[in-house]
């Protein structure tokens, strides 16, 4: 865990213990299966870590909207074919028949943790969607974690951020301009991957994400 998970390695002894408890609780509640991919111990560690990182400071959080994580070898397309032409998707949270299922590419899962120099972590991104969805709507507003009085401010800030990305005036990944849902997930990846850089480049967003995830 120390070698791959920077968030964990920065915690003190007591913090690591708390992380491990949440990690074990997650892995005992959610099934991880391979779809033409072997689920190795490292994959379990990384999926569990990606689940715990965004909710580490939130007491008693359970991903009640997740029952299984499906590990694919590489990217996939919307029809879940692993060998089509448009293997563009590296992770997703399912709907319909795949409700409560997350699909993630093994390759992307590992890249997210091996490469700490960028602002990307696909697994964390997908868990942020689950957090967003926990209040019943996937809309870019985590109602359970954000106080009601801050919601309008949050929505305005997300709109402003998307406009800045579109104008090329931001170092946030272009995918964040897709929708408020993706914007929330993309900035959260950046926030957890490069906390110092994020807070210095995006003080206002940082303040809001602190309210959501860190709550102090």
Instruction: Say if CB 142 and CB 184 are below 8 A apart.
Output: yes
Which among 17-25, 39-47, 154-162, 180-188 is the span making contact with Zn ion, rule CB under 5 A?
A: 180-188
CB 185, min distance to Zn ion, A: 5
Q: Where are the alpha helices (DSSP H) in the chain?
A: 6-9, 13-29, 41-52, 106-114, 122-133, 151-166, 180-193, 195-201, 203-209
Residue 69 phi/psi, 5° resolution? Answer: -110, 125
Name residue 104's beta-bridge partners. Answer: 71, 91
Q: Which one, 25 or 178, has the nearer CB to Zn ion?
A: 178
CB atoms closer than 10 angstroms to residue 66: 23
CB 187, min distance to Zn ion, A: 12
Binding to Zn ion by CB under 5 A, coded x per residue (else -) over 181-210, reads -x--x-------------------------
Q: Which residue is nearest to Zn ion (CB)?
A: 185
Q: Which one, 48 or 176, has the nearer CB to Zn ion?
A: 176
> How many chain residues interact with Zn ion (CB under 5 A)?
2
Q: Which one, 185 or 205, has the nearer CB to Zn ion?
A: 185
Name residue 105's beta-bridge partners. Answer: 72
Binding to Zn ion by CB under 5 A, coded x per residue (else -) over 135-174, reads ----------------------------------------
Q: Which one, 108 or 182, has the nearer CB to Zn ion?
A: 182
CB 14, min distance to Zn ion, A: 33
CB 18, min distance to Zn ion, A: 28
Q: Which one, 46 or 183, has the nearer CB to Zn ion?
A: 183
Which among 69-77, 110-118, 159-167, 178-186 is the span making contact with Zn ion, rule CB under 5 A?
A: 178-186
Binding to Zn ion by CB under 5 A, coded x per residue (else -) over 107-126, reads --------------------
Q: In Å, what is the CA distance from 209 to each residue of 43, 102, 119, 200?
A: 27, 23, 15, 13
Handedness of CA 66, 69, 75, 77 (dihedral sign): negative
Q: Which two tokens stand for residue 76?
A: 């996939």
CB atoms closer than 10 angstroms to residue 143: 14
Q: Which two tokens stand for residue 124?
A: 């964390």
Q: Which residues bind Zn ion (CB under 5 A)?
A: 182, 185
């Amino acid at each position: 865990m120390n070698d791959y998970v920077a968030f964990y390695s920065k915690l003190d002894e007591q913090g690591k213990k708390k992380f491990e408890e949440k990690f074990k609780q997650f892995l005992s509640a959610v099934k991880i299966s391979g779809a033409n991919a072997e689920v190795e111990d490292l994959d379990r560690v990384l999926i569990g870590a990606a689940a715990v990182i965004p909710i580490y400071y939130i007491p008693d959080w359970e991903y009640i909207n997740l029952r299984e994580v499906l590990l694919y070898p590489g990217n996939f397309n919307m029809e879940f074919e692993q060998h089509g032409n448009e293997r563009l998707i590296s992770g997703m949270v399912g709907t319909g028949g795949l409700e409560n299922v997350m699909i993630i590419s093994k390759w992307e899962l590992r890249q997210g943790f091996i490469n700490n120099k960028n602002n990307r972590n696909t697994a964390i991104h997908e868990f942020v969607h689950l957090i967003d969805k926990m209040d019943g709507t996937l809309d870019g507003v985590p109602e359970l974690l954000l106080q009601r009085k801050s919601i309008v401010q949050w929505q305005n800030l997300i709109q402003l951020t998307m406009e800045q990305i579109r104008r090329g005036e931001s170092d946030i990944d272009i995918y964040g301009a897709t929708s408020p849902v993706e914007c929330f997930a993309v900035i959260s990846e950046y926030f957890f991957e490069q906390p110092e850089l994020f807070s210095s480049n995006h003080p206002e967003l940082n303040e809001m994400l602190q309210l959501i995830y860190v709550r102090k």
